[in-house]
A and B are shown apart, each in its own frame.
Chain A
Amino acid sequence: MAEPNLLILAAGVFAILAVASLIGFILKRTISWQKPHAVIDNLNARIKAWWVLVALMLLAFLFGKAGVVLLFAFASFTALREFMTLTPTRRGDHYALAASFFIFLPAQYALVLADQYGIYSVLIPVYAFLALPIIAAFRAETTRYMERVAQVQWALMICVFCLSHVPAILNLDIPGFEGGNLLLIAFLIIVVQASDVLQYVCGKLFGRRKLAPNLSPSKTWEGLIGGVGLATLLGTGLWWLTPFTPLVALAMAALIAIMGFFGGLVMSAIKRDRGVKDWGQMIEGHGGVLDRIDSLVFAAPIFFHLTRFFFSVS
């Protein structure tokens, strides 16, 4: 059941990308041929990056669970790297940082791979939460101690714990939906990312009223309503991928699109505080990996737990 649906989905996504590339080319051709144009060039860079991201996702899907776990472990590593680079840590945090990168991150994903829900759901909120301040205390540096420990913990929660709930979806045991969990991941990612893209498009086309000028100057009410609304419609239309009824698919899509929006807003607030526009430069046109996945980070745990609570038997 999973395979043909996944193929249809891949074909659909590639068709949309092809249309987007064509639109990008026409815009470039008619408005700023052979001249630089900030918005159009950025749009085209984003579309090009999307091809790569979609190809990477599909490649991971081909390798099944191990592929998806590895892809998100890598995304977590890069996100944590971007986050910690922009976080003012001190010398005394060195061991805590090393433990985050080299112990907690790999352990979290290994446990997801091994389907150990009882441990991976508490590894970072409980074990890391207690271990990190102990490790930091050993270094006997008290300057901004509380603040520093909290920052490292928060980084692990966002970049590792929350994001690991995407591959963890593969561990859900939904009666009558055996072998279809990859499609559930596809549903989550497509709705959340489509919401991001549609918010951007609606904001660029119709954006008038700024929503949170202090946090993110590009977010508008028109973009939010248009983007979340259209993504919800898209998610409802994709109900056949999921174990949900169309009505439940609508509710889920709306919820993850809204969580995704708030994820972007929260991460924007942090970027503003740090005085940067983007988390990194790894993805051309988008910024860093964290810029691309901030919405997914906020949507994934909620999606995972609601699905687990209402649909899964494990």
Chain B
Amino acid sequence: MSDFPPAASGFMVDATTTALILAARVATGVRAEWRGCDPTTHRRIYYANHVSHGDFVLLWSVLPPALRRVTRPVAAADYWRATRMRRYISEEVFRAVLIERNRTEETPDPITLMADALSGGASLILFPEGTRNTGDERLLPFKSGIYRLAEKRPEIECVPVWIDNLNRVLPKGEIVPVPLLCTVTFGAPVKLGEGEEKQAFLERARAALLATAPTNGETQKDG
């Protein structure tokens, strides 16, 4: 998994990609807003708020095709390897960097996997809250992973991405989605400062993500 897989190809993969993007767009009318940076193919770490399993599909679907081809989500191996269908989607369509949540001696270090993927030329999508946020708090405290990754690759910019409204489209535990409009807002990038402490960086990155959230027509977050 460490070297960058070739760009998705083949009829099945293309068809699945198109179907997923179309489904995401129809269900959520999703729109990208590049507020703090431009959609360039620079290697980047896109880090986003996490409220639903659909988060990275939505983020991925609003990226321009050239960016999408080089951007890989970081996802949980136990979930995405559980069935053949999930394995196909995560490995062939999204070319996800799958990491083990329950680590043992044999499992590879997730930070190394992510750093290797960056070295292979990919951009990453990750959710530093570590788990889906289903509570009342707008954004959970960040896990240390993003800091450890930035420590290994300090030259790469981290772009905060706020995914708005998806938790209202399909709240946890609901079956029928409601077709509300979602936006994906890209904020101003942050980089690890020289000698910056872990806690300081995590808090700065979290503040940057909160600052990216649209303030207009704010909808209440609830559980």
Footprint of B on A, CB under 8 Å? 77, 81-82, 84-91, 94, 97-98, 101-102, 274-276, 280-281
With A94-B171, A94-B174, A98-B176 known as contacts, the answer to whether A82 contacts B219 (CB < 8 A) is no
- In the docked arrangement, what's the CA distance between A275 and B216, Å? 6
Stretch from B72-80, B105-113, B178-186, B201-209 at the A interface: B178-186
Cβ-defined contact, B217 with A86, below 8 A? yes
Q: Select which of A81, A90, A97, A102 is within 8 A of B222 by beta carbon.
A: A90
Cβ-defined contact, A84 with B222, below 8 A? no
Cβ-defined contact, A275 with B217, below 8 A? yes
- In the docked arrangement, what's the CA distance between A275 and B218, Å? 9
B165 within 8 A of partner (CB): yes
- In the docked arrangement, what's the CA distance between A82 and B171, Å? 19
CB distance from A49 to the nearest CB of B (A): 17
B215 within 8 A of partner (CB): yes
* Interfacial chain A residues near B171, Cβ < 8 Å: 91, 94
B10 within 8 A of partner (CB): no
- In the docked arrangement, what's the CA distance between A89 and B223, Å? 12
Interchain Cβ contacts under 8 Å between A and B, 24 examples? A77-B179, A81-B180, A85-B181, A85-B217, A86-B219, A88-B218, A88-B220, A89-B168, A89-B219, A90-B220, A91-B222, A91-B223, A94-B171, A94-B176, A94-B178, A97-B178, A97-B180, A98-B176, A101-B178, A101-B179, A102-B176, A274-B216, A275-B215, A275-B218
Contacts of B145-179 to chain A: CB distance below 8 A: 165, 168, 171, 174, 176, 178-179
- In the docked arrangement, what's the CA distance between A276 and B168, Å? 19
- In the docked arrangement, what's the CA distance between A77 and B222, Å? 25
Q: Select which of A81, A87, A101 is within 8 A of B29 by beta carbon.
A: A81
- In the docked arrangement, what's the CA distance between A91 and B221, Å? 9
Q: How many residues of B contact A (CB 8 A)?
A: 19
With A91-B222, A91-B223 known as contacts, the answer to whether A280 contacts B216 (CB < 8 A) is no
- In the docked arrangement, what's the CA distance between A97 and B165, Å? 14
B132 within 8 A of partner (CB): no
* Interfacial chain A residues near B191, Cβ < 8 Å: none
- In the docked arrangement, what's the CA distance between A97 and B179, Å? 9
B68 within 8 A of partner (CB): no
- In the docked arrangement, what's the CA distance between A91 and B29, Å? 20
B69 within 8 A of partner (CB): no
Cβ-defined contact, A85 with B165, below 8 A? yes
* Interfacial chain B residues near A101, Cβ < 8 Å: 178-179
* Interfacial chain A residues near B217, Cβ < 8 Å: 85-86, 274-276
CB distance from B34 to the nearest CB of A (A): 14
- In the docked arrangement, what's the CA distance between A280 and B215, Å? 15
- In the docked arrangement, what's the CA distance between A167 and B219, Å? 33
* Interfacial chain A residues near B223, Cβ < 8 Å: 91
* Interfacial chain A residues near B25, Cβ < 8 Å: none
B81 within 8 A of partner (CB): no
Contacts of B115-134 to chain A: CB distance below 8 A: none
